[in-house]
Chain A
Amino acid sequence: MDIDLAIENENHLRLKNSLHSFLFEGKKDESLACRHYDCTLGKWLYTTGIFQYRHIPEVHSLERAHTELHTKLTDLATEKEKKDHEKCLEIYREIEKVSLRLSMLLQQLREAMKTTAPVDVKPAPVTNNDLPLEHQALCDFFMQAPGIFCVLKGPSHIFQLINPDYKELIGNRELKGKDIRTALPELEGQGVYELLDKVYQRKRTYTGREIPVYFNTGKGIPEKVYLNFIYKPILDSSDECSGILVFGYDVSGEVRLRKRSEESETRLKLAIDAAEIGTFEWNMNTREFICSEKLAKIYGYRKKARISYKEFTGAIHPGDKKLRIHAIEEALRTGVMFYEARITRPDGNIRWVKFSGKIVFDEKRNPCRMYGTALDVTDQKTLEERLEKKVKERTKELVLNNEMLIRQKELSESVINASMDNITVLDTKLRFVILNERALAAYKKRKEKLIGQPIHKVFPQVLKSGLYADLRKALRGEGMHDFNYRSFILKGYFEVFIFPLRDSNDKVYGVLLITHDNTPVVEASERLIAANKKLEEKNTVLEKNNRELASFRYIANHDLQEPLRKIQVFAGLVGKHIDRPERVKEYTENISHSARSMSDLVQAVLNYSRLSANEQSFTKVNLNALLKDLKKEFRPLIAAKSAKISCSRLLPVKGDPGQLKQLFTCLLSNSLKFSDKEPVITILSRVIFTDVRQSGNSGADKYLELVFKDNGIGFEQKYADQVFRMFRRLQTSRQYPGAGIGLAIVKKIVENHGGHIFVKSEPHAGTAFYIYLPVI
């Protein structure tokens, strides 16, 4: 077969252009689908070229390049079908390279063919089953070469030659002499038989790539094997097909690997798709920029599938351009790029995009390519911004709240510290939680020593005093207010308030103890009470004095005016009967008498008023001696009345001798006076223990009881109190003269000595005076 390589070169260049149109304009071209063994050049190569010019190395390179070109063209078509644009571009680039190589090789071969003669070798036709020697050599080659080889003869494809690898593949079955259908029945339905038939009939070589075939490899189940193979028809001298040469090799490994890689890639693509990540590639040397549709979408180009580098960088927000430059500089150093920037979409919207990428360097450490991803993070950014804003606001709120709380806390602290009372707060275990300044000062302990300690541990006195019990009551919810509490801790009197503290669930969480220092108040009130008592005592004295004063008034009114009146009257009568001497004498006697009684009265009253209780002048008084003296003084009267006086032995008393003498004088005098027969007077004494608090004012328990008894005229017992009153006379002054003051004096003297006196009497049955004087 003859060929014009120059034309073939043109043809193949034309192919490339068709490809370009097909790729970028979508113009379909059937020539692109041409197989490497179907085009003119290919045919020539496989029938003539590689045999006749096999001594020229370019032929073989050409064959390889040519095959590669056509294969790639087919691939591209497939990828275009799949709409895998990146792959298309990749293949296209490769095609360009191959094409270039092919072109070069064609030229080289042309040149070589001009100078080199073809080897006149015709392939020996295979006419019978026995193979000539050259073919034997070929067979040897086949047996040793890698890959699976076999030679099939005849239209039913009988196995003539099988190499060991093939044999191994099919499980070492004996195939020689068998036709394919019999030898490998498992190939039924896989299209192999039909393919072999076609190749035999049409005398066209078939190249299969990565064809999956199931073989019985002897492992039981049929094994799937990926094969690259060629079915080449063997033509005899008359150009008729006599058999098929099968050559192939197992590419299962590569296929599986590739498939896995494809799968990963697919998954990755899916992931990228799902994540809405846009991808891009920037070739720093060629300035070529490739990006995914997603990226275009991010950039807001709905109709376009691609954006240009200009569009890519141009959309960056002016404010973020610097940021981007900086990130790229960083990336050129480190190889890793990462930045976030705003982009402006064609419609004016601003979006936040996160760019991340990797720079690939060549051997000289020069950057050659950048691979990157872009992700629209506007929503997150907005969210972030909103969140940040919220956080800022909330922080501000919290800061304000905090300030307010601090102020409130400071205020309440100031208030409780300003209080004049001790304020203490205890927890449910009665441990000190809060103490105000006053409380600390009062307890005289340091705060650290108190806080956290139970009150009954620090001050055990509270267990005895009852405060502990009250605090426990408070824990049960019962408050307490004690107006006057005697504190053993603080030494004094306090008004105590105990409040149970309840939380919002009404549960008691602590106890509030407020103590108000009442000590000054209590002390003041005690002083007041004491003062009152003194006043009362003074009052009693004053009342007594008043009574005496009243008596004095009475005297003035009656007992002095009386004699005075009489004196006046008698004086008048004297004047009237001046010429009657005996009358004058009588009247002047009357005057004298009245005057005397006035004088007596005044004297007695003065005596009485002079009687005062001066305890300082009290001495031990021997009553027996006193009475003895008295009897001596009264002897004339006693004799005149024929009175009999007997007294028992009297114990000494502490007192005023003068007053005591007066006392006995009065009593004796009265007894002698108020008698209508011979007076019999007895004085008895004994010591008794009595409570005379009701009348006496000394409070002593041991008393000397003196009984002064007479047999005089007596009086009705109902006057027993009256007789001691001043000027209360029960008898007519004529019959029994006297100022009527004696017994009053007696009573006063007895009282001066802290004693008590009362009288028992009966008319005509005598009188008995009972006097109680405190004994030393």
Chain B
Amino acid sequence: MIDDDVDDQKIFSIIAEEIDDSVTCTFASDGVDALEKLRSGSCSPDLIFLDVNMPRMDGIECLKRIKATKELDHIPVFMYSTTADPDTMRLTKQLGAREFIVKPSNIADLSAVLSTIFSKEKASHSVK
């Protein structure tokens, strides 16, 4: 999960753990940090959750870069942001993001969203 907001990081990890304690979360605070981690290989996630508003390198830029990298472009990227701007949503979809998730206000919704994603991912993995 790439987000500059530590609270959001905290929330995400709590919910994710609750859904499936086998899931591991790694965090980056901005695009630069994220790419560093991804390219170095210190992190090879199955899923990427990417915030849009971040300093140094925002989510759009980061998404582009990820999708440009051959080794990384196979990883499904989910945009995870407070903005609900339709243009941004369309753009990210165009750039290859799997989905655009607006950060919910209640945990039940977040829980529902994440569990759906995880189970889907797990299912596809088992096919492989």
Residues of A within 8 A of B (CB): 558, 561-562, 564-566, 568-570, 572-573, 576, 590, 593-594, 729-734
* Residues of chain A lying within 8 A (CB to CB) of residue B30: 732
Q: How far apart are A18's CB and chain B's nearest CB, in angstroms? A: 162
Give the contacting residue for B6; candidates A568, A569, A734; CB below 8 A.
A734
Q: Do most interface residues of chain B lie in helix, strand or loop, or is the interface mixed?
A: loop
Task: Give every chain B residue within 8 A of A566 (Cβ-Cβ).
Answer: 7-8, 11
Determine whether the beta carbon of B55 is less than 8 Å from that of A568.
no
Interface residue count for B (Cβ, 8 Å)? 21
Q: Would you call B4 and A732 a contact (CB within 8 A)?
A: yes
Q: Is B55 touching A732 in the complex (CB atoms < 8 A)?
A: yes
Instruction: Tell me, yes or no, whether B107 is within 8 Å of chain A by CB.
Output: yes
B103 to chain A, nearest CB (A): 7
Contacts of B54 in A (CB 8 A): 732
User: Which single member of B29, B55, B105 contacts A569 (CB below 8 Å)?
Assistant: B105
> Can you show 14 pairs from A to B with CB atoms below 8 A apart?
A558-B82, A561-B82, A566-B11, A568-B105, A569-B105, A569-B107, A570-B7, A572-B106, A593-B7, A729-B55, A732-B29, A732-B55, A733-B5, A734-B6
Distance between Cα atoms of A733 and B82 in the complex (Å):
16
- Cα–Cα distance between A569 and B104 once the two chains are bound (Å): 8
Q: Given the complex, which residues of B lie within 8 Å of A593, measured CB to CB?
A: 7
Is the pair B105, A565 in contact by a Cβ cutoff of 8 Å?
A: yes
Closest 7 CB pairs of A and B: A572-B107, A732-B4, A568-B105, A565-B105, A732-B55, A566-B7, A569-B11
Q: Chain B residues with Cβ under 8 A from A729's Cβ?
A: 55
Kindly provide the distance from the CB of B59 to the nearest chain A CB, expressed in whole angstroms: 14
Q: How far is the CA of A558 from the CA of B6 in the complex (A)?
A: 16
Bound CA span A594–B8, Å: 12
| CA of A593 to CA of B29, assembled, Å | 20
**CB-defined contacts of A564 to chain B, threshold 8 Å:** 105
B58 to nearest A CB, angstroms?
12
B127 within 8 A of A: no
CB-CB < 8 A to B4: which residues of A? Answer: 732-734
Contact call B14/A731, Cβ cutoff below 8 A: no
Contact with A along B1-17 (1 / 0, CB 8 A): 00011111011001000
Nearest chain A CB to B51 CB, angstrom units: 11
Q: Which of A562, A570, A732 contacts B82 (CB 8 A)?
A: A562
A565 to B54, CA, bound (A): 18
Most buried by B among A558, A569, A576: A569
Q: How far is the CB of B80 from chain A (nearest CB, A)?
A: 13
Determine the chain A residues whose CB is within 8 A of the CB of B11 once the complex forms.
Answer: 566, 569-570, 573
Query: When A558-B82, A573-B14, A731-B55 are in contact, do A568 and B106 touch as well, CB less than 8 Å?
Result: yes
How distant is the Cα of A342 from the Cα of B10 in the complex, in angstroms? 148
Q: CA A541 – CA B104 in complex, angstroms?
A: 38
Q: How far is the CB of A718 from chain B (nearest CB, A)?
A: 14
Q: Is B123 an interface residue (CB 8 A)?
A: no
A562 to B11 Cα, complex, angstroms: 13
B55/A730 in contact, CB under 8 A? yes
> In the docked arrangement, what's the CA distance between A185 and B8, Å?
188
Nearest A residue to B107, CB-CB = A572
What is the 8 Å Cβ interface bit string for chain B, positions 102-121, against chain A (1 contact, 0 not)?
A: 01111110100000000000
Determine the residue in chain A with the shortest Cβ distance to B108. Answer: A572
A570 surroundings in chain B (CB, below 8 A): 7, 11
User: How far apart are the CA atoms of A69 and B81 in the complex, in Å?
Assistant: 176
Residue of A nearest to B14 (CB): A573
Most buried by B among A564, A572, A593, A594: A572
B7 neighbours in A (Cβ, 8 Å): 566, 570, 590, 593-594
- Chain B residue contacts of A569, Cβ below 8 A: 11, 104-107, 110
CB distance from A582 to the nearest CB of B (A): 13
Q: How far, in angstroms, from A734 to B103 measured CA to CA in the complex?
A: 19
* B55 adjacent to A576 (CB under 8 Å): no
**Given A569-B104, A732-B55, 9 additional A-B pairs, CB 8 A:** A562-B5, A566-B7, A566-B8, A568-B106, A570-B7, A572-B108, A576-B107, A594-B7, A733-B5
CA distance A576 to B106 in the complex (A): 12
Residues of chain B within 8 A of A730, CB atoms compared? 55
Is the CB–CB distance between B55 and A565 below 8 Å?
no
Residues of chain A within 8 A of B14, CB atoms compared: 573
Q: Are B108 and A565 in contact (CB under 8 A)?
A: no
List the A side residues contacting B55 at CB < 8 Å.
Answer: 729-732
Closest A residue to B10 by beta carbon equals A590
Contact of A565 among B6, B29, B82, B83 (CB under 8 A): B82
Chain B residues whose C-beta falls within 8 Å of the C-beta of A572 in the assembled complex? 106-108
In the complex, what's the smallest C-beta–C-beta distance from B119 to chain A, in angstroms? 21
A732 to B104, CA, bound (A): 21
Taking CB atoms, residues of chain A closer than 8 Å to B110 are 569
Q: Which of B41-96 contact A (CB under 8 A)?
A: 54-55, 82-83
Q: In the bound complex, what is the Cα–Cα distance between A568 and B10 (angstroms)?
A: 14
Which residues of A sit under 8 angstroms from B10, Cβ to Cβ? 590
Chain B residue with minimal CB distance to A576? B107
Question: Which residues of B have CB within 8 Å of A731?
Answer: 55
CB-based contact B107/A573 at 8 Å: yes
Cβ of A380 to closest chain B Cβ, rounded Å = 115
| Min CB–CB distance B117 → chain A (angstroms) | 18
